[in-house]
Amino acid sequence: MALNLHDQLVVAISSRALFDFEEENNVFEHGNDAAYVALQRQRLELPAAPGVAFSLVRKLLAFNSAEHQRVEVVLLSRNDPVSGMRVFRSCRAHGLPSVQRGVFTQGRDPFGYLRPLGAHLFLSANEADVRQALHLGYPAARVLTESVQAGDAHPHEVRIAFDGDAVLFSDEAERVFQAQGLAAFQQHETDKAAQPLPEGPFKPLLVALHRLQQAADTGMRVRTALVTARSAPAHERAIRTLMDWNIAVDEAMFLGGLPKGEFLREFEPDFFFDDQTGHVTSAAQHVPSGHVSSGIANPPPVGTAQKNMG
């Protein structure tokens, strides 16, 4: 029987999301491909430091046991194969020997490989790749490499925080807010309180995390939080939507426009996902954060694709 990953939570991640390759990426952006590859060759025996998503990956892999492989992490990178060798060596050096699969495209678009992987999440520092992955229907976020890294306060919990509209849910309500203002938004959500919101790009990840939590027997658990600018009475539709999905989050924060960063600092997530650049930039000062380029708040960019190794 052919091997497949269908019964696992699959995370595809770029080199810069998992490890700190900012110095090397700076050489790539301001020099040339050859200089970048030469630098990676020089540092082949030097493990890269952990990056923003390292804590998330390490904890997710802790759900695996000798009997059950529940999480698969695959490197999916614009890096060249030589740089890929350094990434694998860095994984081993930092206690991630189970990261054994990788695709290194040497500058070519990597997001097409999400389909054969069946990925539930794609994390990359390359905005163009993230946008394309979201367009294909995969939960994806641009990792803010300047984010504060997660601490070690909760070694047996994977903590993940999600924004609501345009992340877990569609941007239907956000469109009303943008076009007609807060009062119309509140009335719209009150009128439709009993009608579940359409799903957003990150519902598949929430479902996969729920399934992982239900199957866990390794001493690890998943703790999730909904962190949204909604407030009463618009909170009800969000809660009813989760009830309709038969998924419960552990915490829900209806902040009514308050800055999310300090609340997230108290929750201490291994990662936070939001579609609003202002929210996610603020959050990155406190917790590992990723920007979800979806919904009305993120119109298609004008100009050329961002040049970096992702």
Whether 191 is a known active-site residue: answer no
Residue 170: other Cβ atoms inside 10 A: 19
Of 170, 58, 77, 161, the residue nearest 123 (C-alpha): 77
The answer to whether 92 and 49 are in contact (CB under 8 A) is: no
Helix (H) or strand (E) holding 40, with range, is helix 33-42
The tokens describing 29, both together, are 């952006």
Of 22, 27, 50, 51, the residue nearest 38 (C-alpha): 27
The tokens describing 221, both together, are 């658990």
R_g of the chain computed on alpha carbons: 19
Residue 154: other Cβ atoms inside 10 A: 17
Backbone angles phi, psi at 250, to 5 degrees: -75, -35
Q: What is the dihedral of CA 92, 94, 97, 98, to 10 degrees?
A: -140
Q: What is the DSSP string of 186-252?
A: HHHHHHTTTSPPPB-TTHHHHHHHHHHHHH--SS-EEEEEEEES--TTTHHHHHHHHHHHT---SEE
One-letter amino acid identity for 48?
A
Sign of CA dihedral 182, 183, 187, 188: negative
Catalytic residue (choose from 20, 80, 163, 171):
163
- Residues catalogued as catalytic: 163
